[in-house]
Structure 1
Amino acid sequence: MNYNLVTILGPTAVGKTRLAVLLANQFNGEIISADSRQVYIGMDIGTGKDLNDYIVDGKQINYHLIDVIHPNDEFNLFEFYKKFFEAFYSINQKNKLPFLCGGTGLYLHSIIKDYNLSEVDFNHDRIEQLNKLDFETLKSMLYKIQPKQHNTTDIINKERVIRALMVAEQSEQKEVKYKTKIKSFNIGVFLEREEVKKRITERLKMRLQNGMIEEVEKLLHNGVSFERLEQFGLEYKFVAKYLKKEITHQEMFEKLNIAIHQFSKRQMTWFRKMEREGIKINWIHGPNFNEAEELILRNLF
């Protein structure tokens, strides 16, 4: 099989980003991030946006889909999908190898399983029309057209349901620019559950020491609301609750630590589901460069 993409996936805190960067350096590649929160400008510590990871021996490895949008703006599956193909095209034009790296299962799935997503013209009159209907009516209209929802965040509030409904009901849709057939070679990074839990807890302590609370304060100062921060979940949700004095510092740490462990388990559930669908994931123990390099050499070159 002629692969045109290498995907490095795995749960949080297993070291997949640095591995992907080292591999991109070795195989003349660039990174496309598949992280639903690293797209936001100013959300650095809480999302683990360690940009130093993208430097190898003093050389900057190019990355895409990081720091592309303000936290108050909407970023969704379609935005990711569209920008992925723009980045993929740009990397190919330079005769480089694209590496997709991240832990957002839905984003990875949309590329590897070749979702058929299209761009929609959001007509103002139709938005006004739909706005007059109540939330439950809109939801039932959406489920009538699209019984299976890929993205459950599309049904959490009225605005999102309207947007999803317009996507579903629009017949004349524009094709995604630079869309091409993807054949991805997938490498999964795993560690024992106890090791992942230990790494998550240590990393959380470090992030709190290194200014994560101050980062959230700065986002608030720059006009990001408490409600919006809570939508981002995990670090931003629990630090926001702490800053609102709804929980103590200790409670914030404990609740957040548990939530990240649960998130990590959900990520693995996604990857197992992908495997059950027939997606081949070549699992390696930890971010083992030599093992990953050997897999790529054997299967791509």
Structure 2
Amino acid sequence: MQNQKMITILGPTASGKTSVAAALALRTGGEIISADSRQVYRRMDIGTGKDLADYTIGDVHIPYHLIDIADPGTKYNLFQYQQDFHTAYNDIRSRGKLPILCGGTGLYIEAVLGGYSLSPVPQNQKLRESLEGKSLDQLTQMLVHLKQKNGSKMHNRTDVDTAQRAIRAIEIETYNLEHPTPERQMPPVDSLVIGINIDRELRREKITRRLKARLEEGMCDEIRSLIDGGVNPDDLIYYGLEYKFVTEYVVGKTSYEEMFRQLEIAIHQFAKRQMTWFRGMERRGYTIHWIDAAQSMDEKVESIMSLMNE
């Protein structure tokens, strides 16, 4: 176990991966590095599903990193994440602790494990203006074409689920086409990769139950407070499905029932796309050891410990 450099725990939304990571951290004295593109934002707790209570087991607080590190309204990106990941990873390793990478943002996970060569990409206002008014389908087609030109594995459908995100992805691919980056600016990270495999019907049940709970916990009020605090409602749509649909309800564009129905469908589709990404990682050469979400927590932790000791 002492030779393990890092454990990665991935899985679709509602698979219970955070509680597994926390239980493993408790057992090993490890620390968790979040691999979630939205949980980096402060004051965006319910809508991003931080579930911070999962990091406390009994009276033990599990240390976590890369949560609540960016202001709402700002655009945190993959390049920044890669830098911040290595800072946290090196800090944890320097203290003799086990880093446990945990999340569902496949692009962030793969960028870290594979050592993607990235650079900060400035906004291209002229390009943005030329793309304004295009549908998500049109933008997706443009992105596919650019990716083929670049030989790029970035920006799969999981992470490009709104027109704004698609425009940003096109901006990045266009920049990379015009400004080739040096080979491998970041080293790949050796990791044992664990996947939490949840039955599709159980996943659907958990997604619906969790969505109801988050709305009851005050997700609408959270979004109202962000808007009252100066975040533009149009900008909130950038931050993923919950913010897109609940913001539309909060500003009066849709009814509560319609918001719930559309958001529930969208989250189910998102979970399917996450699994598509993880299966794609396997095709790209990553070994993912899948364990059953229906097992007891003790069984899941024991399964991971056995793999660590092989």
Q: TM-score, normalised by structure 1?
A: 0.85
Residue number among 203, 225, 235 corresponding to 1:228 in the alignment: 235
1:175–1:144 Cα change, 3 Å = closer
Task: Kindly indicate whether the alpha-carbon contact (under 8 Å) linking 2:33 and 2:85 is maintained by their aligned counterparts in 1.
Answer: yes
In the other structure, the counterpart of 2:211 is 204
In the other structure, the counterpart of 1:151 is 155
SS of structure 1 residue aligned to 2:117: coil
Letter in 2 for 1:292: K
SS of structure 1 residue aligned to 2:291: strand
Q: How many residues were matched structurally?
A: 291
Shift of 1:246: 1.5
Shift of 1:23: 0.3
In the other structure, the counterpart of 2:269 is 262
Alignment partners' CA distance in 2, 1:270 and 1:36: 15
Alignment partners' CA distance in 2, 1:260 and 1:11: 10
Shift of 1:278: 2.5
Residue number among 264, 276, 280 corresponding to 1:273 in the alignment: 280
Unaligned 5+ segments in structure 1 are none
Letter in 2 for 1:5: M
Over residues 206-233 of structure 1, what are the superposed CA-to-partner deviations in whole Å (9 max), with x where a residue is unaligned? Answer: 1111100000001111111111111223
Answering whether residue 117 of structure 2 is matched by residue 117 of structure 1, we say yes
In the other structure, the counterpart of 1:20 is 21
Alignment partners' CA distance in 2, 1:105 and 1:77: 11
Letter in 1 for 2:60: K
Task: Kindly indicate whether the alpha-carbon contact (under 8 Å) linking 2:147 and 2:173 is maintained by their aligned counterparts in 1.
Answer: no
Over residues 64-92 of structure 1, what are the superposed CA-to-partner deviations in whole Å (9 max), with x where a residue is unaligned? Answer: 11011112111111111111111100100
Task: Kindly indicate whether the alpha-carbon contact (under 8 Å) linking 1:88 and 1:98 is maintained by their aligned counterparts in 2.
Answer: yes
Residue number among 198, 216, 222 corresponding to 1:215 in the alignment: 222
Shift of 1:168: 4.8
Alignment partners' CA distance in 2, 1:109 and 1:250: 37
Sequence identity (%): 41
SS of structure 2 residue aligned to 1:156: helix
In the other structure, the counterpart of 1:293 is 301
In the other structure, the counterpart of 2:100 is 99
Shift of 1:290: 3.0
Letter in 2 for 1:17: T
Alignment partners' CA distance in 1, 2:148 and 2:57: 51
Shift of 1:273: 1.2
Alignment partners' CA distance in 1, 2:187 and 2:64: 20
In the other structure, the counterpart of 1:108 is 109
Alignment partners' CA distance in 2, 1:132 and 1:291: 50
SS of structure 2 residue aligned to 1:49: coil
Task: Kindly indicate whether the alpha-carbon contact (under 8 Å) linking 1:120 and 1:166 is maintained by their aligned counterparts in 2.
Answer: no
Letter in 2 for 1:21: A
Letter in 2 for 1:54: Y
Task: Kindly indicate whether the alpha-carbon contact (under 8 Å) linking 1:5 and 1:97 is maintained by their aligned counterparts in 2.
Answer: yes
In the other structure, the counterpart of 2:136 is none
Answering whether residue 244 of structure 2 is matched by residue 243 of structure 1, we say no
Task: Kindly indicate whether the alpha-carbon contact (under 8 Å) linking 2:117 and 2:182 is maintained by their aligned counterparts in 1.
Answer: no
1:249–1:223 Cα change, 3 Å = same
Task: Kindly indicate whether the alpha-carbon contact (under 8 Å) linking 2:115 and 2:187 is maintained by their aligned counterparts in 1.
Answer: no
In the other structure, the counterpart of 2:80 is 79
Q: TM-score, normalised by structure 2?
A: 0.83
Over residues 39-76 of structure 1, what are the superposed CA-to-partner deviations in whole Å (9 max), with x where a residue is unaligned? Answer: 11111001111111111221211111101111211111
Alignment partners' CA distance in 1, 2:308 and 2:243: 39
Shift of 1:270: 1.0
Shift of 1:165: 4.0
1:218–1:293 Cα change, 3 Å = same
